[in-house]
Structure 1
């Protein structure tokens, strides 16, 4: 059966020769794959583009779904036209995408997006290249994906909660944590504990694409992270951080991902001790903003603190210095507890202030992972940020309300904020605690 999610093209790298690919009349076009790439050769008998076609059948397309197709190609003759069509594989041959590119003798990577007007399991991806002269097109990395927000968010199968459940299947808390928490889609955080960030991000995004859901990922490796607080650490030098971010972006590539950039880094920037350190912090966040948004399907958001921390005007100045113009917007309430309506109000105020300063169209997302009871305790006091009692899981990752683009589980529920609050001994920041998880589930 044809695939519905993830990469819909089989053998798009041609590592298995030409398996899965067909070609037109042999006297006009022939295919070979001698070295993990396709060589499609047209003869002088192929006068028009459609005289020398090749492609793949049994592609599933769904009406209204956003698709991305990408490929790398070059030609033996500069100026060679290559036509790409995706659509019905039989009469009336209706196309959902029809693009013609002009190739040079150097490899060029092409990326196109389209919303399908067709619903079919008999779709086709085809390339056409006839031009009346002998020419060879070299093609590889053909990829057609359909991971979109409409398909839902990815659930991390290897989260700290799932690891604990796997290791403690007989614990009486395990069924509750599995049902209420571990099976919910949320973010995967990457930081200085990540051994090979490019490879690990690549594997995570690939797994999400394979099931057609959107991965939520957090870049959390800032130089002098958390200004030496509970979550201190991060890259050892500014240059190391830039290289790490470059590798992070490379791991995503042209696949879809929703990226939260460096929680707390901008909000904490003005607390750094010197002007040099402050300027460096803004420069590093801006580098992350520019680099992570080079992927054509990345939705990136700078961290925008929370409603009880900074005034909107203060946060806006930091967002602008951190390069928000390169991103889709900002995140509100990451790892905090403010109720959704309060976070929405704050987010809208930041959007308005950004527009007043010439940055129009910014969007925001809200971390709802632990805000089910809001951030005010029984005495009307705002709770501490670090493992406070009486909090509860919030709305699972979904489309937004009240002006928010999405409600997301960004902080991983059950992962400690540090050795503080109601956290039991031995649960520093980032360590999963079934005790904390159960309290969040039950609202204790």
Structure 2
């Protein structure tokens, strides 16, 4: 059974109403989602805790792996009992976590760590609160996450930074770069010249880790900019995507799909080129999104580039409904709060367009100092000075699915900024050290 690192819960903040959840017999429990979480009300006929319940199914748990359940809850009356259980969703209802707690009328965050005693590809989480009296339990921020290093992201042992370290072990910058960058998991980028995707996915699966990969080969890539290139024709691109899907197959992976491709649509020569790129993105989203263990994020630009209304329209046209969601701030420097605000604006616009339940990820590789310089001006996108490493790849915050190192630190944006004469994608210890020191 493959590892699945991250939040196993769908719609844990109930922003997408009751999607992904179920409730018990309507004679015993009713649910409402006012936009600030879930309000579940038990009737007086619910004499036992298990009479009134809400939950979520199809949670993949692995025997011997460690998990953490967190949630925020309150009740309409003090002294309300709530049972939180994780386990088998059918008879004999074996539980691997079973906690009964007492709620007050103020929001309280609860955290429970446990080790799964069995493989449960279809595990269940339930909250039970029958009291023989009418009571409303409010829930939000429900998360069930893998918490061991063995369930973490895959670290690319052949990243550009790792290759530099292997070739320069005695460089005075080596230990700093090893500790700050080389040991950190981030995305490996695959282009038309990459032939080792299947081997990379296989290595990650063998380690029980979740690989982060970026597919970067759209026709007219970077619109002739620093990272120009890409597939020569639409037919070649579709064949390349088919090959990538076959290489990933049924193994777990996070896929960041074609950074800048949708954000740069307006810079293409004509409507025919824009239509072709949108169609190719949609083809990739559908092909990769259909894989059983792959989560796909399309290009969502960044907060100071494309307005949320326009980006949402582009994402819908590019098939985001077939993907998990979209990625923001790839290869950029905006702070996490700025990125998450922008992304939530996009998800709100997508909902208005009829596309609900989409998530997002944020590239945090180089946003530790945000995107403003000392004078309060927004920095240029290409190797700007004064940037710093951001939060390493991890579970997300503020609505994000994940915070990820997508643009690997130290890899140049191109011959520009403080990286003159360093081609795009080339690792530079000079750039890497400046990022570790924030200068």
> TM-score scaled to structure 1, two decimals?
0.67
- Find the counterpart in structure 2 of residue 139 from structure 1: none
SS in 2 for 1:386: coil
Aligned to 1:257: 253
> How far apart, in 2, do the equivalents of 1:117 and 1:180 lie?
30
User: What is the alpha-carbon distance in structure 2 between the residues aligned to residue 158 and residue 384 of structure 1?
Assistant: 29
The residue that corresponds to 1:159 in the other structure is 159
- Equivalent residues in 2 for 1:297-376 (5 A)? 297-376=293-372
Change (3 A) 1:208 1:226: same
Q: Which residue of 2 aligns with 1:435?
A: 430
**1:187-202 correspondence to structure 2 within 5 Å:** 187-194=187-194, 196=195, 200-202=196-198
2:155 match: secondary structure: coil
Secondary structure in 2 matching 1:302:
strand
Q: 1:404 maps to which residue?
A: 400
Asked whether the 8 Å contact 2:340–2:399 carries over to 1, the reply is yes
1:238 to 1:62, Cα distance in 2 relative to 1, 3 A: same
Match of 2:63 in 1: 61
Mapped pair 1:176 → 2:190: no
Q: What is the DSSP-based 3-state SS (H/G/I as helix, E as strand, rest coil) of the residue aligned with 1:157?
A: coil
Cα deviation digits, residues 203-229 of structure 1 (max 9, x gap): 111111111111000000011100111
How far the C-alpha of 1:349 sits from its partner, in A, is 0.5
Change over 3 Å in CA distance of 1:211–1:382 after alignment to 2: same
Aligned to 1:119: 117
Distance 1:172 1:240 in 2: 45
Stretches of 4+ aligned residues off by more than 6 angstroms:
3-6, 63-66, 147-150
Q: Is the Cα–Cα contact under 8 Å of residues 4 and 61 in structure 1 kept in the other structure?
A: no
- Contact 1:5/1:210 (8 A) holds in 2: no
Distance across 1 between alignment mates of 2:280 and 2:2 = 39
Cα distance in structure 1, aligned partners of 2:403 and 2:170 = 33
Deviation of 1:295 (Å): 1.1
The 1:387/1:149 distance shift into structure 2, 3 A limit, reads farther
Return the alpha-carbon distance in structure 2 between the equivalents of residues 5 and 360 of structure 1. 27
1:33-182 paired onto structure 2 within 5 Å:
61-62=63-64, 119=117, 151-182=151-182
**Contact 2:66 2:146 (8 Å CA) reproduced:** no
- C-alpha root-mean-square deviation of aligned residues, in Å? 2.7
- Cα contact 1:186–1:410 (8 A) shared by 2: yes
Q: Deviations over 1:351-389 (max 9, x none)?
A: 111101101111111000000000010111100000000
Rounded Cα–Cα distance in structure 1 between residues aligned with 2:146 and 2:242: 24
Cα distance change on mapping 1:178 and 1:277 into 2, 3 Å:
same
Would the aligned equivalents of 1:148 and 1:214 in 2 still touch at CA under 8 Å?
Answer: no
Q: 1:227 to 1:5 in 2, by over 3 A?
A: closer
Instruction: Give 2:378's aligned residue.
Output: 382
Q: Is the 8 A contact 1:5 1:211 kept in 2?
A: no
Partner of 2:388 in structure 1?
392
Aligned length: 317
- 1:332–1:367 contact (8 Å) kept in structure 2: yes
Report the counterpart of residue 138 of structure 1 in structure 2.
none
Rounded Cα–Cα distance in structure 2 between residues aligned with 1:252 and 1:65:
26
3-state SS, counterpart of residue 430 of structure 2: helix
Cα gap change, 1:124 to 1:248, in 2 (>3 Å): closer
Contact 1:149 1:213 in 2 (8 A): no
Unaligned runs of 5+ in 1: 7-59, 67-86, 97-115, 126-146
Shift of residue 192 of structure 1?
A: 2.5
TM-score w.r.t. structure 2 length? 0.68
Between the aligned partners of 2:391 and 2:153, the Cα distance in structure 1 is 13
- Residue 348 of structure 2 aligns to a residue whose secondary structure is helix
| Offset, 1:64 | 7.0
**1:204 maps to what in 2?**
200
Aligned residues of 1:302 and 1:329 also touching (Cα < 8 A): yes
